[in-house]
A and B are shown apart, each in its own frame.
Chain A
């Protein structure tokens, strides 16, 4: 508090000082202000956020007086995921809304029950659809078997408590109050009886759409979705009737994050339907009580997002949009290919581990150009089509001083590297890898052997009467290591013995480099 106070004072002081003097902006200030204004107008005219066609009409106060009320009707209320039909009249009317509060035990997840406090019998509460400038006579009834008093705060209402003060209703009673819907938009409503957190946590929220003058653009399908959390005494999935956990609600550690009031409410068999080629609109709310949603439809990009439920502020080509707790959004997208489009909160552990998944099943003709599905499935070879370099596997050591050391080190290299293909006894693998044991190939030409170990080998070779056509990779061994391992090999398994020195290896390396022979020795 104190910090804010001093900051405010500081800002005030700065402003005051800025105004002191001759009261005119300095030239620098004027210039920077002009630059800023230019940038701002460039930004808004770039069409990054565009207003809907009725934005002007909606913001024009004159319109409010212009529209006399005609007629009276009772609002059609629907349960999620359904939405009442669009308003067709082009004038405001008196609308009677009758909403009943019901405390009821229902399924939260398989095997898990919860006592929900609801507007209209389920979570989320009924969808209310009216028109801007309608005058609403709101009846809130609280069932006699309710344990608690309840009320309602509609974010569409401009007035004390959003209606909460006027609608406080004991069980077995009814409250009536009226309001005029001055502003268009998609608004949350919720119970605001003490303790508010608990009433909301138990499911007391829903959406009211106030259509702008002129209505919303036509689409083929409209659906109603509300994300919210539940805090239970037991863990996610723990069976039985779970009571509300105040501690978890305070810590904001939700056990369940769901769409439309329970796990799977709009998934699997409960998925909503659509057809390829249709334009879909989702009215999406976030009842909280605590968490913000990162709303995303897998496989779709939102053509239009009515930011935060405002019908006068539209964003285009959006992948994931934020829905604040106690807020809403309207998204529109087309369906180009058939399949299941999955609604998620992209805080992804909520989707996969807490239930924040809903589905739209789109049927119709495939379009392989837009989305082909899997076209091929092939082997991915680690070695690839040519000899690959294997990075240095052995540690650098001081050179061997005699044959015995050379043999010992050579053995180590052999058992680390060569053994994979040429095997423990140098026997190789028939038809795959040539033998080193009693190998005529090796014994007839040691220099060639040095070249092979140094640079790898590709192409047909005949060893002990058998033909092999495989690839030996370039092992990246230095002269010392080549000498060591070959000395070991020549002294095993009936080979002719002797010693290969690092000097010989160096000679072969130099000869091969200068002769511009390709790195991999080819034998035809």
Chain B
């Protein structure tokens, strides 16, 4: 087994060199694959381009080095929007692994939020893997690139899922390597992916044969492709229960990197609210702004895409009724539509939509930004979306943000009464 793994790793390395790029240290080249996403009904398999992936999860020792260099991510400094109260609780202090240091050093780091994991990756010029990338790499066992049809493989995964989490997982190097040379994708910890919020399972998984349309806009019908694959089902369910700020004892991460194109090391600042997130957004008037410029006004916010035929028109309609219900107060309120579809939602398109709905431009702002900026904003707003056959399935969300960008009210169901939302806005406006 070991020999095969080593040979495969060597082969991968060699092949990637032929492709013109060697894997960065600690990473292997994962070849292109065709992957059928678990939750996409009758869609065709998606192509997953080749990428680089960390051989092991990030360890506590590595994360310690990171927080040493980036104080805004230390336990005592971090904002609760970026990481909840469970952040790095396995450590004794900000920079101190504590009495279990010996075991923790080489064990996968856990109790880290998505935002923290993302910041770590960016500091190295890398990124989190996508769900498709992770799942296609994790299909492999010690000898095959795709063992997902082998019931013995799946049974083994189920057995791991049903044993309780070890307090401190085993060192990352002890995990056996799969045929791609990757260690511990199964058996140590769950792992963050960049688009974990594309898992749209509702809390109640019995109705999930089809999408719950009150909660999510459905682009095509979302159906599990293989409900016999309980292991994939469970990973999907686990991701669905997460929010970007969650820190969980059985959840760690590893980094990925795109092939070709350089990614600069980036230093992610901490943030208290969505308005503190970095990134450039383009308005319907083709002005470039950051979310920080939205400060100072109470706003009613949604995310969606203008090509949406189902929920977004309804949501925009509800927001306009809220606008009407506020009367004169609407002048003191902002209404924002953040697009999840930068490719199609150009300034011209966004202007068209604004005009179609006869919206008041002094109240309304349409914004579009590059994918990764949108993704981080969506996670911060706890908004879920998934690209399916060129259209998006997404949460139905109307959020009320205060002047600092704190979410004070959420309406997550379609056809709900606008009264509670109007009330929430009025309460905020009444404050001095």
Contact = CB atoms under 8 A, between A and B. Distances in A.
Interface residues on B, range: 35 or more
Nearest to B242: A170
Interface of B: 86, 151, 155, 158-159, 161-165, 167, 190, 201-208, 212, 227, 230, 233-234, 236-238, 240-243, 246-251
A193 B237 contact: yes
Contacts of A246: 155, 158, 230
In the complex, which of the residues B201, B212, B250, B251 has the most CB atoms of chain A within 10 Å of its own CB atom? Answer: B250
A164 B203 contact: yes
Interface stretch (A126-134, A142-150, A465-473, A476-484): A142-150
B151 to A, nearest CB: 8
Dominant secondary structure at the B interface = loop
Interface stretch (A75-83, A195-203, A377-385, A406-414): A195-203
A138 interface: no
B236 A243 contact: no
A235 B161 CA distance: 21
B21 to A, nearest CB: 37
Contacts of A299: none
Contact of B162 (A115, A153, A164, A170): A115
Q: Which 6 A-B pairs have the closest CB atoms?
A: A168-B203, A161-B204, A149-B241, A164-B204, A194-B205, A170-B241
A11 interface: no
B86 A144 contact: yes
Given A161-B207, A170-B242, 15 more contacts: A104-B164, A145-B249, A147-B190, A149-B240, A151-B203, A164-B205, A165-B204, A170-B238, A171-B250, A172-B246, A194-B205, A194-B234, A195-B234, A196-B205, A244-B162
B206 A195 contact: no
B166 to A, nearest CB: 9
B236 to A, nearest CB: 7
A425 to B, nearest CB: 73
Interface of A: 103-105, 115, 144-149, 151, 153, 160-162, 164-173, 192-196, 198, 202, 243-244, 246-247
Contacts of B249: 144-145, 171-172
B164 A115 contact: yes
In the complex, which of the residues A144, A192, A247 has the most CB atoms of chain B within 10 Å of its own CB atom? Answer: A144
Given A165-B202, A194-B201, A195-B230, A173 B246 contact: yes
Contacts of A144: 86, 248-249
A101 B241 CA distance: 15
Given A144-B249, A151-B203, A166-B203, A105 B164 contact: yes
B248 A170 contact: yes
Contact of A146 (B165, B202, B240): B165
A195 B248 contact: no
Nearest to B214: A160
In the complex, which of the residues A162, A168, A202 has the most CB atoms of chain B within 10 Å of its own CB atom? Answer: A168
Contacts of A167: 203
Contacts of B236: 194
A203 to B, nearest CB: 11
A192 B234 CA distance: 12
Nearest to A163: B204
A498 B206 CA distance: 95
Contacts of A166: 203
A168 B86 contact: no
B207 to A, nearest CB: 7
B237 A169 contact: no
Given A144-B249, A172-B249, A165 B203 contact: yes
17 contacts: A105-B163, A105-B164, A145-B164, A145-B249, A146-B164, A147-B163, A147-B190, A148-B237, A160-B204, A160-B207, A165-B202, A165-B204, A168-B240, A171-B249, A192-B204, A243-B162, A244-B158
A168 B233 CA distance: 15
A115 B206 contact: no
B247 to A, nearest CB: 7
Nearest to A168: B203
A148 B227 contact: no
A294 to B, nearest CB: 27
Contacts of B233: 194-195
A147 B165 CA distance: 6
Contact of B238 (A115, A149, A196): A149
A169 B241 contact: yes
Nearest to B224: A194
A244 B233 CA distance: 16
Contacts of A195: 205, 227, 230, 233-234, 237
A142 to B, nearest CB: 9
